Structure 1
């Protein structure tokens, strides 16, 4: 597979045996600091109507099946876990090569592992040879890591690819520019769980590009869903394979685009998170 096929305007995490692609957003045409057009009245009306509809639907859903006022839970009774609520289980207790490790040997632990794996595989660390090797060894099962290492090294050192996204031959940004590659998990879902194996989907957004005056690849946002095949090995969860699909992507809002300085400062000042289900 060619790099053009793999990236589609961005970089690829060759994560599985099926030549999985992780596409990053194409660079938008407008440079940093260019304000977006003023929203039209009709679009604003549609937005307001949409919010009202969502609120009505949420209230109706919340009231389904209630014959009376909801019972007040006792202070010592934890809330039931839902698809959006944290379980309260400690996610990890250590790190391996900068990657969280020590996930719980249960469904929630598998979801926490998948979210953190998505974040680190989409980080700028993949563009540094030493950090990339540490990440690969930490997230993949041993037999898969050996095969993926050479694939990933070839991808992230491809000179044409690096030049296309504005980096030099070593994967570094030009002077005066800040390279940003960050994955932000929004939610996880356990598709299957079998004790020592799990299939977990992670919905996330990505920020990718170069922040700085004169950048030809300003930072843009994209949305994807990765589905990880996980295996419990050596006391922790590891990736054996994964696939990716686009979206679901929300409707963009009419907000002023951040300046180059604002974007670079935000990414440098706001550190990444350890994700827990």
Structure 2
């Protein structure tokens, strides 16, 4: 029953007082409870605002008002998102070392090892052996050196315009760089991990009369790592082409611009 349906009541705000003698308005039409309606509207408005504020405050925990799933059902963050861990601070020569014994640490190791495996230093026998001794697990160093010696032959160096020991001729700049685009762990235990590193690479000889200009390639390196002597080391590694994006419409830089870029822009230490 609404307040207006009961005789003998007058309304002041939200308080009802019984008056004697029937209709106090002398038969005239009764006034509606506007004050009560305004109060009701005000209360409803405050409640709506409170609900909206609570919903907005809870957005960060994965809840929503549209029936979407909660926090535990949210998609996981990107596999290459930053973990907040500080980059490694130790190095073996110029090669980062001392990675964390975690999946993120294994990915960081694989990314940095991809960089050195694709560097110009791999074309020099002494430098190549030093790199392999730093990144390979001890039992795999000698087999890796033998395999790499078969790949980095003097004939291969000469085909790129280099000397037998991997040096560029005077007036030219040899470019061999690998840049990791992303990493992915496909298998992992406490002592081992298999990591794929998607890379973009540069290879060629920058110079005015070079017949092997610097070109770009895309490839993925798969590394099997093991935890040994307090760090991640490579057991085996292999490489396959792609994924490669559609080439853009960028104008190729001159040989001088490319040489200058290689000399002025250093590389990175990769860590998650």
Fold shared, TM-score > 0.5 on shorter chain:
yes
Count of aligned positions: 203
Q: Is the 8 A contact 2:80 2:184 kept in 1?
A: no
Map of 1:90-105 to 2, 5 A cutoff?
A: 90-105=86-101
Q: What CA RMSD, in Å, does the superposition of the two structures yield over aligned residues?
A: 1.6
Q: Does 1:249 align with 2:244?
A: yes
> 1:211: which partner in 2?
206
Quick one: distance in 2 between partners of 1:135 and 1:91?
A: 20
> 2:119: which partner in 1?
123
Quick one: distance in 2 between partners of 1:170 and 1:199?
A: 33
Runs (5+) with no aligned partner, structure 2: 1-54, 62-75
Q: Does 1:165 align with 2:160?
A: yes
> 2:253: which partner in 1?
258
> 1:202: which partner in 2?
197
Map of 1:22-171 to 2, 5 A cutoff?
A: 71-72=59-60, 81-156=77-152, 158-171=153-166
Q: Which is higher, the Rg of structure 1 or of structure 2?
A: 2
Q: Is the 8 A contact 1:91 1:104 kept in 2?
A: no
Runs (5+) with no aligned partner, structure 1: 1-67, 74-79
> 1:10: which partner in 2?
none
> 2:9: which partner in 1?
none
Q: 1:84 to 1:148 in 2, by over 3 A?
A: closer
Q: Does 1:230 align with 2:225?
A: yes
Quick one: distance in 2 between partners of 1:189 and 1:159?
A: 34
Quick one: distance in 2 between partners of 1:140 and 1:233?
A: 10
Quick one: distance in 1 between partners of 2:238 and 2:78?
A: 25
Cα deviation 1:55-93 (Å, max 9, x = unaligned): xxxxxxxxxxxxx768248xxxxxx85324211112312
Higher relative contact order (CA 8 A, sep 6+): 1
One of 248, 265, 270 as aligned partner of 1:270: 265
Q: Is the 8 A contact 1:116 1:274 kept in 2?
A: yes
Cα deviation 1:223-272 (Å, max 9, x = unaligned): 00111100000000000012221100011111110010111111110001
Quick one: distance in 1 between partners of 2:87 and 2:77?
A: 15
